[in-house]
Amino acid sequence: MNILLLKLTVTPIVIAIATLAARRYGPVVGGWLIGLPVTAGPVTVFLNASHGPAFASRTAAGVVGGVTAQGLFVLGFAAAMRTGRGWRFGIAVASVVFLASAFAMRALGLDTLAFAVLAVVTLLVGIKLVRADGAGVRVAPPKWDLPLRMALATALVVTVTAAASSLGPVLSGVLTTYPILSTLLAVFAFRNGGLAPALSVYRGLLLGLFALESFALTASLLLGHVSSAVTFAAAFGAAFGCQAVTLIAVQASRRRIAAAERRAALASARLI
């Protein structure tokens, strides 16, 4: 089958499934689900098919580095939003932090395991600092939300894989991880519910990124040593296994948010 056709069909289907599941369970779960390799997974698979396992292995290493860049993106967003200058300023600051981190990852030239350690440290720091247990307002997403996410994710996959030869494997991997999907969700959450639900999205993302790191680390270490089928089966298996573990933390966050919403509702009732 034509690789471009696969990109144009598989990617939006995966995004649609993740988005619809997220709508049912709230912003924390939404961010957490986006932490799965919904764009980096297809990119790595397609680059393995078009450029070979050695290139794809280095791309996966770049994805591991991209987890660090995503964690720093979230920290940059949270810090910028505390200034009260609005979500556009927050996204702009976070994006600058991400891009600076992306080019730093390429310049450092660390091996995959060093990237992995750096990513874990960044995620743990982010989870410690980015907390959003306050109540927010839940509203139905606009009709264009799902098609826009599907289109943007597909465009990202097609663009990165098309430009991979020019970008190089590591930078391709890092740029693949730009948190465009979680940012769409966070901006929508902020505009309709305030900072708390927006930070909930990103806290969920931080928890979910352990799955992305597991996928990328496994793929990077196995590609070229075992068959592609075994590699990606193991990589996706590692991602889902990690996701099962972090589900405990996600459920705890949901309980805290639900408790905050109940307290807010009681406070409003007393004022009536």
Name every residue whose Cβ is closer than 8 Å to that of residue 62 and which is 6 or more positions away in sequence. Answer: 105, 106, 169, 170, 171, 172, 173, 174, 176
- Model-level pTM? 0.83
Domain span at residue 66 reads 3-271
Q: pLDDT tens across 157-204, in order?
A: 778 777 777 888 888 888 888 888 888 878 887 887 788 888 888 988
Report the range of poorest mean pLDDT among 13-17, 94-98, 131-135. 131-135
Which residue from 12, 64, 11, 13 is spatially nearest to 42, judged by alpha carbons? 11
Q: If you write DSSP's letter for every residue of 190-237 in order, what string do you get? A: HHHH-HHHHHHHHHHHHHHHHHHHHHHHHHHHHBTTB-HHHHHHHHHH
pLDDT of residue 193: 78
Q: How confident is the model at residue 91, as a pLDDT?
A: 95
Of 20, 22, 68, nearest in space to 186 by CA: 22
Q: Which amino acid is at 170?
A: V
Residue pLDDT, tens place only, 227-268: 999 999 999 999 999 999 988 877 776 676 666 656 655 665
Contact between residue 257 and residue 133 where contact means Cβ atoms under 8 Å apart: yes
What DSSP line would sit under 14-49, residue for residue? HHHHHHHHHHHH-HHHHHHHHTSSTTHHHHHHHHHH
User: What is the tally of structural domains in the chain?
Assistant: 1
